[in-house]
Amino acid sequence: MKMDGVRVVRRLEELYLCGAHDGGAYSRLAFSEEDRKGRELFASYFRALGIDPLTDAAGNIIARLDGEEGEKGEKAGAPLPAILIGSHLDTVPGGGKYDGALGCVAGLEVVETLLSSGKRLRHPLDVVVFADEEGARFGSGMMGSGAFSGASLGDFSPTAEDSAGVKRADALAAFGVNWKEMGKAARERATVLCSLELHIEQGGSLFKSGTPIGVVTAIAGVKRREVTITGEMNHAGSTRMHDRKDALVAGARFISSAPEIVAAHGDAYSVATVGTIAVRPNAVNVIPGSCTFSLEIRDQELPVIERIDSELERRLRDVTEASGTTCNFRFISSTSPALMDDGVKNAIIKASEEAGYSCSLMPSGAFHDSLTLARSFPCGMIFIPSVNGVSHSPEEFSTEEDIQKGCDVLLRTVLTLDNTGLQSGA
């Protein structure tokens, strides 16, 4: 029984093309028409196997391969708890071919490989595409996996708008998702044995060390806020420099000081990013009256995130006071760091050893659906190298050889978990 890495790579290419935009960029922002194309193509792969995926109340796509034991299987009785293999198909703007899509296509490949080999698992296997993992369109990420895990949906305001002014609730409605009903997607804990996610590392450590498999130990938490600095719109020609209350200059002073604040108050894994900024009125001859930007902080420890957040806020208040401007914050989302499950980690390590691949235990700086799933279910993640550590970029690349190895380890991990369940002892 062998996973077909060539077929996986071909499908990743086909999915990537669903995100084609005029001008040569590729992206599948959550609940966009490009996302719809990718989701429909992915569902069609399952229908070709005779499996009709369902879509839950949060827009997650779930394709089930029944297990031998339980309702639809041969042996009578309630089905055993399912093994989940999930990830996401939505991307960041200009994202790569592998982030998220690899985990979804590899889950499909496990089903196709089992079906063609005639091997029946004892447990049901659910392959899940979680909706809006990135949060690139409406600000907060992991919406589908959050709803699936029964997390509070407070971070997913229905009125949050994308850059074109489309509200989240309207974008969901175009996909048949009623924002008010998303809570119905919550999956009962007892119906899940564990969750597995194969993902690219999105960093450089596996690539630099030449290690084909990463076994994720923990996933960094992430806090996102929106900052608005308000100054005074004025004439760019007739307003002397000492009379200005320039919101963008204040923003620039703050943003440029963020790296040393993170260095002073954080640890090796601490990061802070300003990824979006809007200036008003955004005219060449008008002193900016206001600027609004995103502020995202991540670390493996929640207290470190909070410490950096308060030090950055202190700095911002100093900068705005000194420049006669004011600032305010709008909370967007916050997800605590999470540990991966020992039993699932042990199964991944065993699978790597059986396959003859070296593996290293490592934390994830990127967040994933597994971050929010880990609140409710035992989770494990398998990483493969990202060439030059690049991700969230058209340059994102993983080799066919590494994809094959990641798929081999995923299949072996599923077989181990199906056989022995979760063995958390060493």
* Interface contacts to ligand HGY, rule CB under 6 A: 99, 133-134, 141, 366-367
Residue closer to ligand HGY by CB (options 82, 262) is 262
Find the shortest distance in angstroms from Cβ 366 to ligand HGY.
3
Rounded Cα–Cα distance for residues 133 and 92 (Å):
10
Stretch that binds Mn ion, among 100-108, 326-334, 354-362, 377-385 (CB under 5 A): 100-108
CB 7 within 8 A of CB 404: no
Residue closer to ligand HGY by CB (options 3, 92) is 92
Q: Running DSSP on this structure, what letter comes out for residue 161?
A: B
Find the shortest distance in angstroms from Cβ 220 to ligand HGY.
8
Residue closer to ligand HGY by CB (options 185, 366) is 366
By beta carbon distance, the residue nearest ligand HGY is 366
Q: How far apart are the first and last CA of the chain?
A: 27
Name residue 222's beta-bridge partners: 298, 335
User: Residue 141's binding partner, choosing from ligand HGY, Mn ion, none, with beta-carbon cut-off 5 to 8 A by kind?
Assistant: ligand HGY
Structure tokens at 109: 């490949």
What are phi and psi for residue 198, nearest 5 degrees?
Answer: -95, 130
Find the shortest distance in angstroms from Cβ 198 to Mn ion.
11
Q: Can residue 99 be called a binding residue for Mn ion (CB under 5 A)?
A: yes
- Using CA of residue 167, residue 171, residue 97, residue 225, what is the dihedral sign? positive
Q: Can residue 100 be called a binding residue for Mn ion (CB under 5 A)?
A: yes
Find the shortest distance in angstroms from Cβ 88 to Mn ion.
6
CB 157 within 8 A of CB 335: no
Residues in the chain: 426
CB 293 within 8 A of CB 276: yes
Q: Can residue 35 be called a binding residue for Mn ion (CB under 5 A)?
A: no
Q: Can residue 109 be called a binding residue for Mn ion (CB under 5 A)?
A: no
Residue closer to Mn ion by CB (options 100, 139) is 100
User: Residue 367's binding partner, choosing from ligand HGY, Mn ion, none, with beta-carbon cut-off 5 to 8 A by kind?
Assistant: ligand HGY
User: Residue 155's binding partner, choosing from Mn ion, ligand HGY, none, with beta-carbon cut-off 5 to 8 A by kind?
Assistant: none
Rounded Cα–Cα distance for residues 203 and 220 (Å):
13
Rounded Cα–Cα distance for residues 57 and 213 (Å):
34
Stretch that binds Mn ion, among 51-59, 99-107, 209-217, 331-339 (CB under 5 A): 99-107
Residue closer to ligand HGY by CB (options 112, 201) is 201
Q: Running DSSP on this structure, what letter comes out for residue 389?
A: G
Residue closer to Mn ion by CB (options 61, 291) is 61
Find the shortest distance in angstroms from Cβ 244 to ligand HGY.
36
The DSSP code sequence of 185-217 is: GPPPGGGEEEEEEEEE-SSSHHHHHT-SEEEEE
Q: Running DSSP on this structure, what letter comes out for residue 298?
A: E
Q: Which residues contact Mn ion (rule: CB under 5 A)?
A: 99-100
